[in-house]
A and B are shown apart, each in its own frame.
Chain A
Amino acid sequence: MDTTTAPTETLGGSKTLVRGNALEKTYGSRLPLGRSTPVLTGADIEVHAGEIVGIVGENGSGKSTLMKILVGVLDHDAGTVQRHGTVGWCPQEPLLYDRLTVSETFRLFGAGYDMTREEIDAAKQRLADELDFEQYLDYRVDQLSGGNRQKVNLSVALMHDPDVLMLDEPYTGFDWETYLRFWDMAQDLANDGTAVVMISHLIEERSRLDRVFEVRDGLVHDVTDEETESELRSDPEGEHE
C-alpha cells in the first residue's frame, strides 16, 4: 500500500491530479469464521484537471470504497494512490456535527483547511447564496431538513476551492432547482481547472460527464463510449441513445 502526493504529469494537455494503480481492497471479518469480501482486485483510475468524471456501478460494486481510497479516508490493501493538490470530499451520508450550527460547522472545517476567518466567512456567504441556504446559517445541523443538510455537506467539500472534488452522490435530497444549480457549479469548477469526480446512478447525467468509469468485478472500466452493465439491463434496446 502506498500513498503519495506525487508530481503531476501532463496527459493530453491536462494535469493528472489523482491516480490509483492496481488498487486492492478486501473487507475482512475479525471473527474467525467471518466472511471476507473482496471489493477491488486491481483497480486503475486517473483523473485529470478540468474534467468531470462519473463513477458508476451496481450496488455493492465498490464505488464508494474506491472513492474513499482515492480521498484517503480508507486504507487499501495493495496498489498505489497518487494525489496532487487540495481535495474536497463530500461523503454520501453527511458527516457533520449535529449540534453545531451551520456557521459553526464552516468555522470548524475552515480551521481544518487552515483558512482565515475572512476566507471562511466569504466561502460561507458565497456557498449559502449559491445553494440557497442563507436563512439556515444559525440553525443547528440536526434541525435541518435532509436536503439542506446535504447542501452543508457539499459546501464543506467546496469551501476551500479544492483542486480535486470527490463527490459521492452529492445531490441526494436536492430539489430540482438546487440540482440544476449544482450542475452549473460543477461545470464552472471544471472550467476553472478543478477535477470533479462523482459517483452517480442517473443515466440522464451521462451527457454532463466528460468520462465515465464503471466499477465492475473489482476493476475499473472506462465506459465513456459504451453502455454500462446496468444501462444494458434497464435499456436492452438501447432506446435512450
Chain B
Amino acid sequence: MNRFVVGVRANLQTFVRTPLNVVLALVLPLVVIEGWGQAMAGLPSMPTVEGIPLDLGRLLGAIFGVAIITGLMGLVQMISAREADRRLVQTGYAPRTLLATRLATLAGVTIVVAGVNFGVLWLTIDVEAPLFVFAFLALAGVVYAFLGALVGAVLPRLFEGSLVVVFLAMMDVFLSGDSPLAADVPDFVQYFPLYHPKELLQSAAFDGTFAAGDLAFVGGYLLVLLVLVTAVFGATMRTAGGWSA
C-alpha cells in the first residue's frame, strides 16, 4: 500500500474527528474578520497612529485568522502524535514520507480554511481580484502552517508552542507591511512571515494587482521553512532502527 496516500488519509481522518479543528476552521473566520475590522475601525486617529478603514481592518482580520488557525493546526499536527510517530517510523515509514503526509494534509486543510475566510471576506468587502485574494490568503496560511509545524518540531509542548504561534501571528499582522499601526518599524519586519503575503493580499484586494517580487519572496520563505522543518523533524525522528528483511 502506498504509504503517502495511507498517511494523508489517516491525517485527514484524525483532523475531521477533532471537533475543535472543525469549529476553529468554520467559526473563527467570521468572528475574527468582522471583530478585527470593527475593532480597528474603532481606533481613534492620533498623531502617530492613523485610524484603519473598516475594509482594511477586515482584510487584516482575514489574514490573521488564516495565519492563526493554520499555524495552530501545524503545531498540533507535529505535537499530538510525536511518540506514535516514532513507532510508525520504526515500522518502516521514512521520516520524510511521514512529514510529507503531514505537510500535504496541512496544505489541503489550509486551502479549506482560506476558502472559508475568503468567503466571509467577499461578503463583507469589495475585492478587485477575488481569485488572487483567495490564492494569497491560502499562501499566507501555508506559510503559517509550515511555521507552526516548525515550532511544533522544535518545541514539542502544546501550551508553550501555542503561545509562540499566537504572539508571532499578532505581532506579525500588526507590524508587517504597510500597517498604519506600524509607524517607524525597523527594517527587519520585512522578514516576518506575513510581511509579503500581506503586501500581496492588499494589492490584490484594493488594486487588483500584485508585485512578482513579493510572490518570489514568499516562495523562498516557504522553501526555507520546508528545509528547516524537514531537518528538525528528521532529527527528532532519527533512531537506530531499520530492520533487515
Contact = CB atoms under 8 A, between A and B. Distances in A.
Are A and B associated in one complex? Answer: yes
B243 A5 contact: yes
Interface stretch (A92-100, A172-180, A191-199): A92-100
B88 A86 contact: no
A157 B245 CA distance: 15
Interface stretch (B7-15, B135-143, B205-213): B7-15
Contacts of A201: none
A72 B17 contact: no
Contacts of B18: 99
B1 interface: yes
Nearest to A162: B243
A5 B242 contact: yes
Contacts of A91: 87
A108 B91 CA distance: 10
Interface string B6-42: 1100100110011000000000000000000000000
B92 interface: yes
B48 interface: no
Interface stretch (B60-68, B78-86, B144-152, B154-162): B78-86
B1 A97 contact: no
Nearest to B4: A111
A1 B92 CA distance: 22
Contacts of B2: 111
Contacts of A72: 90, 239-242
Contact of B17 (A5, A83, A140): A140
Contact of A83 (B3, B7, B244): B244
A111 B240 contact: no
Measured as residues with beta carbon below 8 angstroms from the partner, the interface class of chain B is 20 to 34
Nearest to A88: B91
Interface string A97-128: 10110001001111111111100100000000
Measured as residues with beta carbon below 8 angstroms from the partner, the interface class of chain A is 35 or more
B93 interface: yes
B91 A109 contact: yes
A111 B86 CA distance: 15
Interface stretch (A58-66, A73-81, A230-238): A73-81
A75 B239 contact: yes
Contact of A108 (B17, B88, B243, B245): B88
B240 A95 contact: no
A69 B83 CA distance: 15
A116 B17 contact: no
Contact of A76 (B13, B17, B240): B240
Contacts of A81: 240
A1 B239 CA distance: 12
A115 to B, nearest CB: 7
B119 to A, nearest CB: 27
Contact of B87 (A73, A74, A110, A160): A73
Contact of A69 (B238, B240, B243): B240
Interface in B212-245: 238-245
A84 interface: yes
Given A95-B84, A116-B1, A104 B10 contact: yes
Given A85-B245, A111-B1, A111-B93, 7 more contacts: A72-B242, A87-B241, A108-B10, A108-B88, A111-B7, A120-B1, A156-B87
Interface of B: 1-3, 6-7, 10, 13-14, 17-18, 81, 83-84, 86-88, 90-93, 238-245
18 contacts: A5-B242, A71-B90, A73-B86, A73-B239, A74-B239, A74-B240, A76-B240, A83-B243, A86-B243, A87-B90, A99-B13, A100-B14, A104-B10, A108-B6, A111-B1, A111-B3, A111-B6, A112-B88
